[in-house]
Amino acid sequence: MSFSEVCNKIFWDTTTLYHKYDDVDAVVENPYEERTINYFLFLKNWIDAVQWHLEDIIRNPEIDPVEALAIKRRIDRSNQERTDLVELIDSYFLDQYKDVAVADNATINTESPAWAIDRLSILALKIYHMQQEVDRTDAAAEHIEACSTKLRVLLQQREDLSIAIDQLLTDIAEGRKYMKVYKQMKMYNDPNLNPVLYGKK
């Protein structure tokens, strides 16, 4: 099984598991051995699934403003956790390929493996929810047809991205490409970098 196949299975299983509860506050036990790559992939998709539904909730036009602010703060924390986890997954790849002899003409990719995997996780959620729209019995035929078209595009996108991820990992393993991880430079969460937080006039 290729690495992208492992990702897609874990992401789909996790997305499906989330929707058995369909609750942003649900607590589930990660089924994989702690601190393994599969453990982190499960956690990645669970965070994404929860945030997906928080984004839905906050768009309710009748939401109480106080509740909306609390959810916005929660989404901010979730984004930070997501970024931290992506960097952790990239650290796994850096360690895995640390002894590879990099070719003199090796090139760098536009994104690291983990950020591509991040997109694969989001695609699992998009596909799941678009399939829900296709399966609706209370929607007009035009809506079903439009969503069916979008679903086909999403499935093709997942296939293409999966191939690209596997190719990238092969290229890194064989020294044709090399990877760098630029640690996050987010400023808005840092009390030393956000002017509102450090009180700049």
Angle among Cα 80, 33, 100 to the nearest 5 degrees reads 75
Of 177, 171, 172, 125, nearest to 151 by C-alpha is 125
Residues 6+ apart with CB under 8 A from 179: 90, 93, 94, 97, 108, 109, 112, 113, 172
Locate the domains of the chain by residue range: 3-193
* 137-188 pLDDT tens trace: 999 999 999 999 999 999 999 999 999 999 999 999 999 999 988 776 667 7
> How far is it, in rounded angstroms, from Cα 201 to Cα 199?
6
85, 91, 152, 186, 192 from 114: Cα distances, Å: 9, 9, 25, 18, 28
- 3-state DSSP assignment of residue 79: helix
Residues 6+ apart with CB under 8 A from 91: 181
Q: Tell me, what DSSP letter sits at residue 177? A: E
Residue 43 has which token pair? 């956690």
* 88-137 pLDDT tens trace: 999 999 999 999 999 999 999 999 999 999 999 999 999 999 999 999 99
pLDDT at 54 over 80: yes
Cα 9 versus chain centre, distance: 14
